Chains A and B, each alone.
Chain A
Amino acid sequence: MAKVMELKTRVLGLNGNAAVAYAMRQINPDVVAAYPITPQTDCVERFAEYVSAGLVDTEFVTVESEHSAMSACIGAAAAGGRVMTATAANGLALMWEVLYIAASLRLPIVMMVTNRALSGNINIHCDHSDTMGARDAGWIQLFSENAQEAYDNIIQAVRIAEDLNVRLPVMVTQDGFIISHAVERVEVLDDELVQNFVGPYKPVYPLLDLAHPVTYGPLDLFDYYFEHKRSQIEAIDNSFPIIKKVGKEFGKVTGRTYDLLETYRLEDAEYAVVALGSTCGTAKEAVNVLRERGKKVGLLKIRCFRPFPRKEIAAALLPLKGVAVLDRSVSFGGFGGPVFTEIRSALYDAPSRPLMMDFFYGLGGRDIYPEDIEKALQTIESVVQKGTVEEHIGYLGLRE
Chain B
Amino acid sequence: MSKLKGWKELVPGGIITEAGNARQYKTGDWRTERPKVDKEKCINCFFCWAYCPDGSVIVDADKGIMVGFDYDHCKGCGICASVCPAKAIDMIPER
Contact = CB atoms under 8 A, between A and B. Distances in A.
Given A223-B4, A224-B4, A231 B16 contact: no
The interface residues of chain B, by DSSP majority, are classed as loop
Interface residues of B, number: 14
Interface of A: 104-107, 167, 204-205, 212-218, 220, 223-224, 227-228, 230-231, 234-235
Contacts of A105: 13-15
Contacts of A223: 4
Contacts of B17: 205, 212, 214
Contacts of A107: 13
B12 A106 contact: yes
Interface of B: 4-8, 10-17, 19
Nearest to A219: B25
A170 to B, nearest CB: 16
25 contacts: A104-B14, A105-B13, A105-B14, A105-B15, A107-B13, A167-B12, A167-B13, A205-B11, A212-B17, A214-B17, A214-B19, A215-B15, A215-B16, A215-B19, A224-B4, A224-B14, A227-B5, A227-B7, A227-B10, A228-B7, A228-B13, A228-B14, A230-B7, A231-B8, A231-B12
Contact of A216 (B4, B10, B15): B15
A220 B4 CA distance: 13
Contact of B19 (A104, A213, A235): A213
A231 B10 contact: yes
Contacts of A213: 19
Task: List the 8 closest pairs (A to B, CB-CB), nearest first.
Answer: A106-B13, A227-B7, A215-B16, A230-B7, A213-B19, A228-B14, A105-B13, A106-B12
B13 A216 contact: yes
Contact of B6 (A104, A204, A227): A227
A157 B81 CA distance: 59
A279 to B, nearest CB: 36
Contacts of B16: 214-215, 218
Contact of A220 (B5, B14, B19): B14
